[in-house]
């Protein structure tokens, strides 16, 4: 018995799907891109630049606690540190965090602290960003103090609230992590420092 035309089943064609087929190759490309980004980030952080959070109040008003700064790790491969540079370094004392301070004297220079002021090689050395009097901190550091070869002498800009070379002496150049070149956080305090 033949089926009437009205009831004859017709093959149903599914509409074409807009979803692309699952591709392991696409996932592999994404994983490769992420791995490359991580490698570039690690290399940049190890050898070129790093972000550092200021954890002390010793550099106020230049740098406030919780400011974020960008630190160049390549500057001192081409030039030597100079007075006025703000550096991040690991001091030769027991501490869990790197310090952020201003270099005020370099190897071969003689530091004196007189009448609350900084004198280097017999001349007043003034940085306009600093505040407070510059007084000795420990009897072990005798003035005039000659900075040894391969070392630098640091002070915080907030002179009365800073543990610096007045406490632990000059520091070796090889303790420097890098030079602060940019304060980028918070955004309203963004500033480039002299390179």
162 is catalytic: no
Pick the catalytic residue from 101, 162, 165, 179.
101
CA-to-CA separations, 84 to 62, 81, 95, 98, 195, in angstroms, rounded: 12, 9, 24, 18, 11
Task: Map residue 12 onto helix, strand or coil.
Answer: coil
| DSSP calls for 87-144 | EEE--SSS-SS-EEEEEEEETT-EEEEETTEEEETTEE---TT-BS------TTS-SS
Contact 71, 181 (CB under 8 A): yes
45 vs 59: CA distance, rounded Å: 23
Q: Which member of 58, 72, 162, 165 is catalytic?
A: 58
Q: Would you give the DSSP letter of residue 148?
A: P
Would you give the DSSP letter of residue 153? E
Place of tokens 């050898």: 47
Which DSSP letter does residue 80 get? -
Paired residues of 99 in beta bridges: 89
Active site residues: 58, 101
């Amino acid at each position: 018995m033949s089926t009437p035309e009205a009831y004859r089943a017709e093959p149903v064609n599914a509409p074409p799907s807009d979803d692309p087929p699952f591709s392991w190759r696409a996932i592999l490309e994404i994983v490769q891109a992420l791995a490359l980004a991580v490698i570039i980030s690690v290399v940049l952080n190890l050898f070129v630049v790093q972000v550092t959070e200021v954890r002390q109040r010793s550099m106020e008003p230049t740098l406030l606690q919780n400011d974020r700064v960008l630190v160049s790790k390549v500057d001192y491969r081409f030039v030597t540190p100079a007075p006025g540079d703000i550096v991040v370094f690991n001091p030769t004392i027991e501490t869990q965090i790197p310090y952020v301070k201003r270099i005020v004297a370099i190897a071969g220079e003689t530091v004196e602290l007189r009448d609350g002021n900084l004198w280097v090689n017999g001349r007043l050395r003034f940085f306009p960003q600093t505040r407070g009097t510059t007084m000795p901190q420990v009897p072990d550091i005798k003035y005039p103090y000659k900075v040894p070869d391969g070392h630098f002498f640091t002070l915080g800009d907030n002179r009365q609230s800073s543990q610096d070379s007045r406490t632990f002496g000059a520091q070796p150049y090889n303790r420097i992590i890098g030079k602060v070149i940019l304060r980028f956080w918070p955004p309203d305090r963004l500033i480039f420092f002299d390179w």
